[in-house]
Amino acid sequence: MMAHLIDGKEISLQIKEELKQKAIEYKERGIEVTLAVIQVGNDPASSVYVGNKKKACEFVGIRSLAYELPEETTQEELIALVKELNERADVNGILVQLPLPSHINEDFVIKTIAPEKDVDGFHPQSVGALSIGQKGFVSCTPAGIIELLKRSNIEIAGKECVVVGRSNIVGKPMALLMLRENATVTVCHSRTKDLKEVTKRADILIVALGKPRFITSEYVKDGAVVIDVGIHRDENNKLCGDVDFADVEGKVEAITPVPGGVGPMTIAMLMNNCMEAIV
């Protein structure tokens, strides 16, 4: 069987093109959508992510304000900046790049962001709203996966969906979103007994467990749809996911590649959230 490749690069480009039009309409109404991005310290991976976000803002026509703070910034200083940005009428979205240095309490900082500017969707109020079906920002990676499925015409309602991983930024919000889309949802984690037995029930298998090429064909039902959230560099410095793509590909109906699957969708959905921050 030839698996359909779910092209996240192409779909994310479509979304960004749509958002570009929206930004033009906003500009005609005198509104300049603005995202403030705060990075503390210079973790190289974080710098790459922040750089990519800035590039996406430029593409879409969102103004981005970069705050690059030194590693030794105190929690009080960071919180003072977040509060100042909360108050600024010309700032619509605030993003604090994680991880923060260990002397800063991430939960506390996230809680300080005004929920109406919480474009990452990590504030407890945003997560609470998602869990009871109210309006609020949704974590970008899981929101991007829903877009990938919908724009690939993959039906979700009534399907058996298994999510592997229960992190606050991917697994948990993913499960809530699939539930909202009327899937029957099972969430697996490191204490799940007989993972294979569970994942093999999935019509839609979403993998975010953080181990390179962990999911092989034995974990997957014939004709399933497989979404791979993982990003790793293998022993040859090649990018790969949590799914053993070469092993699984022949068995499934559709699958996301790594790179070019879920990754590009995360930033596209961040741009979408910034646009939705305009009331």
Binding site for ligand NDP (CB under 6 A): 141, 164-167, 169-171, 188-192, 195, 208-211, 229-231, 242, 262-263, 266
H/E stretch holding 45: helix 44-60
Residue nearest to ligand NDP (CB): 167
Nearest distance from C-beta of residue 242 to ligand NDP, angstroms: 6
Nearest distance from C-beta of residue 4 to ligand NDP, angstroms: 19
Q: By C-beta, is 73 or 266 nearer to ligand NDP?
A: 266
Q: By C-beta, is 136 or 165 nearer to ligand NDP?
A: 165
Spatial separation of the C-alpha atoms in residues 192 and 186, rounded to whole Å: 11
Nearest distance from C-beta of residue 49 to ligand NDP, angstroms: 9
Spatial separation of the C-alpha atoms in residues 192 and 7, rounded to whole Å: 31
End-to-end CA distance of the chain: 47
Q: By C-beta, is 150 or 211 nearer to ligand NDP?
A: 211
* Residues with catalytic roles: 53, 97, 120
Tell whether 213 is in a known binding site: no
Distance of CA 175 to the CA centre of its chain: 13
Contact 9, 40 (CB under 8 A): no
Quickly tell me which residue has 């991917």 as its tokens: 170
Nearest distance from C-beta of residue 234 to ligand NDP, angstroms: 12
Helix (H, G, I), strand (E, B) or coil at 173: helix
DSSP state of 116: G
What one-letter code names the amino acid at 268?
A: A
Tell whether 166 is in a known binding site: yes
Spatial separation of the C-alpha atoms in residues 201 and 198, rounded to whole Å: 6
Tell whether 165 is in a known binding site: yes
Binding residues for NADP(+): 165-167, 231
Binding residues: 165-167, 231
